[in-house]
């Protein structure tokens, strides 16, 4: 019987307990708002960086595909690019080239080993049946008014034909 009496005393006290005051609720809401305002810029810049990396990885994937197809089919495959789009062609005319467009706000350019832009127009990187390539580098930049300092470069080794992504500051 003592158990029932103790539990009724506890529940009786809870029924009489009061909720939070308006001041306490306002303080908590201000604190949550402060945290949200401090983390939003960080999250937005992280999202932009991830988008930039994704576009760069898509191009690298296309380069890797061109090299793989050149080795497998024993014919020359060419990665063709312009400022905002790229496509792969081969000497075989058995399948048409599929063009891919970069996401809005991004562009690529063919660059020299010194980092100088060769041409913002059309360019080509060839992949040969032995796995080697004509080599080169592609810089993927974000086109914006804030002039982001980050660019990604994809370097293509002429001897092995492999590609590698490097982050560059402009």
Under a CB-based contact definition with an 8 Å cutoff, are residues 169 and 149 in contact? Answer: yes
Residues 164 and 58: their CA atoms lie apart, in Å, by: 12
pLDDT in tens, the chain (170 residues): 455 556 556 555 656 667 888 899 999 999 999 998 888 887 777 888 899 999 999 999 999 999 999 999 999 999 999 888 999 998 876 666 778 999 998 988 888 666 666 666 788 999 999 999 999 999 998 887 555 568 899 999 999 999 999 988 76
The number of distinct structural domains making up the chain is 1
pTM: 0.72
Q: Which domain holds residue 29?
A: 2-169
Any idea what the CATH number is for the domain that residue 131 is in? 3.55.40.10
Q: Which helix (H) or strand (E) holds 167?
A: strand 163-169
């Amino acid at each position: 019987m003592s158990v029932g009496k103790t539990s009724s005393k506890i529940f009786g006290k809870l029924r009489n307990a009061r909720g939070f005051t308006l001041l306490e609720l306002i303080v908590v809401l201000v604190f949550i708002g402060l945290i949200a305002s401090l983390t939003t810029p960080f999250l937005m810049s992280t999202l932009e960086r991830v988008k930039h990396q994704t576009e760069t990885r898509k191009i690298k994937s296309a380069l890797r595909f061109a090299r793989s197809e050149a080795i497998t089919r024993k014919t020359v495959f060419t990665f063709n690019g312009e400022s905002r789009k790229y496509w792969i062609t081969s000497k075989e005319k058995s399948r048409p080239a599929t063009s891919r467009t970069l996401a809005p706000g991004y562009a690529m350019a063919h660059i020299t080993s010194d980092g100088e832009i060769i041409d913002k127009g059309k360019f080509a990187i060839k992949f040969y049946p032995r796995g080697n390539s004509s080599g080169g580098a592609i810089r993927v930049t974000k086109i914006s008014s804030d002039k982001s300092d980050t660019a990604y470069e994809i370097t293509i080794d002429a001897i092995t034909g492999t590609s590698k992504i490097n982050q560059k500051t402009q």
